Every structure is written in structure tokens, then in C-alpha cells.
Amino acid sequence: MDKKPRRYYSNATIAALMTLARGGCYWPNCNVPTIRMINGTPRLNLEIAHIRAFEEGGKRFEPTMSVRERNSFDNLILLCNPHHEEVDGPNSDQYPVDVLEDWKHARETDGLDALAGLGD
């Protein structure tokens, strides 16, 4: 029986996304915060989105990528629900890989530069 690949994100990958998101959705100029407090409890307010689809038939699927590569930090961004639906919905052709990678780079650059200065 074939095992269906599963989505798995390491704690480090999730921490990196949350940290480098600088508090918000990766969509340019979106101010939806990564976390919302509800009744005093922090709740994740964004969704992990794949730049290249996780599953065959998904938007921007790249068949040469391994499951590990599809789940890797380099292939992930955080989006609020409306922007995630837009990127993967009927207008998905407006959001090719290079556009989503540009958003990722723009959102993460300052944080990566700051981390690079910390040393080992």
C-alpha cells in the first residue's frame, strides 16, 4: 500500500517563518498579524502556504521536488486566509513561483541580515 506523503514542518522551520515574517502575512502591505490573542490565549492567525504545491495537481506543483523539499523553509510562506485562498484559487496564475519568492525575500531579508550578525 502506498503511503501518502504528509505535510511536516520542523519546529525550527515554524519558528523561522514566524520570526522572519516580522509579525505579519507575507502578502505585500498586509498587516494581518501572525498571532491573535483570544481570551488571553495566543492563537495562530496565519496559514503555512507552499510556494510550489505540496501535492500533485496543486498550484505551482514541481514534480522534481522531494517531499522534504516541498516541506522545507525555502518553499514556505505565511499568508492570512483570504490571501492564501487568492494565491491558490482561480486567480493563481497571477501568482507564479517568482512572485511568491519575491514576497518571501522581501519579508525575510531584514530578519536574515540581523540573524547573520549574531555569529555561532
Three-state secondary structure string covering 51-108: CCCCCCCCCCCCCCCCHHHHCCHHHEEEECHHHHHHHHCCCHHHCCHHHHHHHHHHHH
Question: Per-residue pLDDT tens for 4-43?
Answer: 667 888 888 888 898 888 889 999 999 899 889 999 999 9
pTM: 0.84
Question: Per-residue pLDDT tens for 58-110?
Answer: 999 999 999 999 999 999 999 999 999 999 999 999 999 999 999 999 999 87
Domain ranges of the chain: 11-114
Q: Is the pLDDT of residue 111 over 90?
A: no
What is residue 54's predicted lDDT score, i.e. its pLDDT?
Answer: 93
Query: Are the CB atoms for 57 and 110 separated by under 8 Å?
Result: no
How many angstroms separate the CA atoms of 80 and 42, rounded?
Answer: 16
How many angstroms separate the CA atoms of 109 and 29, rounded?
Answer: 15
What is residue 115's predicted lDDT score, i.e. its pLDDT?
Answer: 62
Q: What is the dihedral of CA 68, 74, 75, 76, to 10 degrees?
A: 110
Residue in the block written with cell 519579508: 107
